[in-house]
Amino acid sequence: MVTALTIAGSDSGGGAGIQADIKTFEALGVFGTSALTAITAQNTRGVRAVEILSPSMVSAQILAVIEDIGAGAIKTGMLGTHDVVETVAATLRDWPAIPLVVDPVMVAKSRDRLLSDDAVQGLVRHLLPLAAVVTPNGPEAEVLTGHPVRTPADARDAARRLHDMGPAAVIVKGGHLETPDVVDVLFDGTDFHEVRGPRHATRHTHGTGCTFAAAIAAHLALGHSLPDAFRRSRAYLDGAIRHAPGIGHGAGPVAHFWNRAI
């Protein structure tokens, strides 16, 4: 059985974080395991409270899973603090053969902050150099590079700058770009790959970043190349948005099992 590990926070509303990752893994035929970094009290309207777990507990979860079950790929999401970022990086350095997908979660869909300023620097210094791919959206790429990301040309420039920080590849997601369609950009250090898709007139997009990164991790665990995982994950996410269940009074979740008869 192919497995993948997610290291992220819990979303009590079920649309993002650990819950979205596990659902995505399962939808794509991968057994999901998890290391919880934080507990959030949130729904589709916003985040009400956050508690970060101790770095030692986060590390203990990671080791418990990898040493027994293993992982075909690892995905990180909400890490919260510099200490957790540093501990996760230190733990994962012992497993360099497992592809790591870093989703640099900084702000929730509700605009609530999920990563401290010093943790951003820790992410750049300790975690990005370990990544097989890092998957920021436009605003996250702006924070990480210090340069505006508004157009596909900006996204390509940001991808180059982020690649210089150490990850093997970078995907800058296009949901926030000022373009009629959504343009996602992959840079593998040599070549650029782009996937274009329609924008959907919906408020139900909570957890899209988590879902996309988890899908990439699942496809890498299944043995797909990164460009193929990129295309497959974008198609999966597009379907999940189109089939969103429409629950909640704010930014609702996507439909993680839209591609399966259940």
- Catalytic residues, by residue number, are 173, 205, 207-210
Which tokens is 207 given? 């957890």
- In the structure encoding, which two tokens stand for residue 130, read together? 């370990």
Containing 242, the helix (H) or strand (E) segment is: helix 226-242
Tell me, rounded to whole angstroms, the distance of Cα 155 from its chain centroid: 17
Pairing of strands 170-172, 182-187: antiparallel
Structure tokens at 63: 């080791």
Q: Which residues of 4-23 are buried (b: 16+ CB within 10 A; e: fewer)?
A: bbbbbbbbebbbbbbbbbbb
What six digits make up the tokens of 230? 């990129």
Determine phi and psi for 32, rounding to 5 degrees.
Answer: -100, 135
- Rounded to the nearest 5 degrees, what angle is found at the Cα of 24, between the Cα atoms of 22 and 29? 95
Cα gap 133→136, rounded to integer Å: 10
Residue 130 CA to residue 89 CA, distance in Å, equals 8
